[in-house]
Amino acid sequence: MHFFLKMDYKFLCPSAFFCIICFFSAINGRPDYIYYPSRPADNGMLSYSFYDNSCPNLNMIVRWGFWAAYINDTRIAASLLRLHFHDCFVNGCDASILLDDTKDFKGEKNALPNRNSVRGFEVIESIKANVEKACPSIVSCADILVLVAREAVVTSGGPNWPIPLGRRDGITASEAAANQLPSPFEPLENITAKFVSKGLDINDMVVLSGGHTIGFAQCSTFKRRLFDYKGTGKPDPTLDASFLSNLQNFCPNIDGSNSKTTPLDSQSVCRFDNMYYKSLINNTGLLESDQALMRDSKTAALVKDYSEDPFLFSRDFAESMVKLANIGVLTGQTGQIRKKCASIN
């Protein structure tokens, strides 16, 4: 998943009716099975039953809070999934991305990969407020963010998986660290190295990139592929000709088109499925860093597997999400349980 990607989601649904249909089709399509990881979460301090006694209605509060946001804006699913990625990739899954700047530190919200790009903060804060009413000072913002990310995937038609809980919230944030998030302009080997540095592997990178099956991208994140690929003054030769023509018409080579947005997966805009990988096979991947997965034999083989087997993609995505949510977690007496996600207590 290429976290630097700017998705401002100004794309409008064709109609309010379409958005409602999208919502209810997703709800009706929620899987009644759960993918259980083949290996348990690698952290003995987290537990699947952590809040069973202290906040038994947590999952329902999170679910209804997410649904309330989703029915008004189906694009919020991709935003919240991305928010979770960006949080975990910067000093671990400690909800540091939710913190506002203070006199002691510059937070992550205004880092280059996040500025005017990441969204959904108000959704998390609203859910946190409702959780606080039911279970004061019990549930961390970090755990809420992990649960909401899963809800975003499941509601969009993707897999479900169990989540071990018990994370605590960080008490600082780092704009500098957030500026090192993977970029859609980076070579594949650089992106791979950044995943490996977080304890993830090449399989995790390819399958988590599948999160681009939902969401939108600004023209500025892929325009150089259309007009001046790697300084050649010509388009990326790997782009499908018809796809290229459509994108050039939508994103003309002028600064005024930079903030226009288009779906990352135009075949199934609000549906979490494996169409993202089919588009890579057909040379219609939107981002340079996504299409680059087809230029390496190892990653290309995984793309082919996921394009042909949606169940394999769902299973592996669920497993990698568990690994992602376990990066650098705070447990026990470290960190705190914030009362409001945007500020430390």
The tens place of each residue's pLDDT in the chain, 345 residues long, gives 444 344 333 333 444 444 454 554 444 445 445 666 665 554 558 999 999 999 999 999 999 999 999 999 999 999 999 999 999 999 999 999 999 999 999 999 999 899 888 999 999 999 999 999 999 999 999 999 999 999 999 999 999 999 999 999 999 999 999 999 999 889 999 999 999 999 999 999 999 999 999 999 989 889 999 999 989 999 999 999 999 999 999 999 999 898 898 999 988 888 999 999 999 999 999 999 999 999 999 999 999 999 999 999 999 999 999 999 999 999 999 999 999 999 999
**94 known member of a binding site:** yes
DSSP letter assigned to residue 94: S
Q: Does 182 count as an annotated binding residue?
A: yes
- Cβ atoms < 10 Å from Cβ of 271: 17
Establish whether 92 is an annotated binding residue.
Answer: yes
Query: Which DSSP symbol is given to 212?
Result: G
* Whether the Cβ atoms of residue 337 and residue 135 lie closer than 8 Å to each other: no
Q: What is the fold of 16-181?
A: Peroxidase; domain 1 (1.10.520)
Q: Domain 203-317, what architecture?
A: Orthogonal Bundle (1.10)
Domain with CATH 1.10.420.10 in the chain: 203-317
Residue 101 vs residues 93, 172, 173, 344: alpha-carbon distances, Å = 18, 9, 8, 11
Q: Is the CB of residue 29 less than 8 Å from the CB of residue 268?
A: no
Q: Which residues are catalytic?
A: 86
Listed in order, the ranges of the chain carrying CATH 1.10.520.10 are 16-181
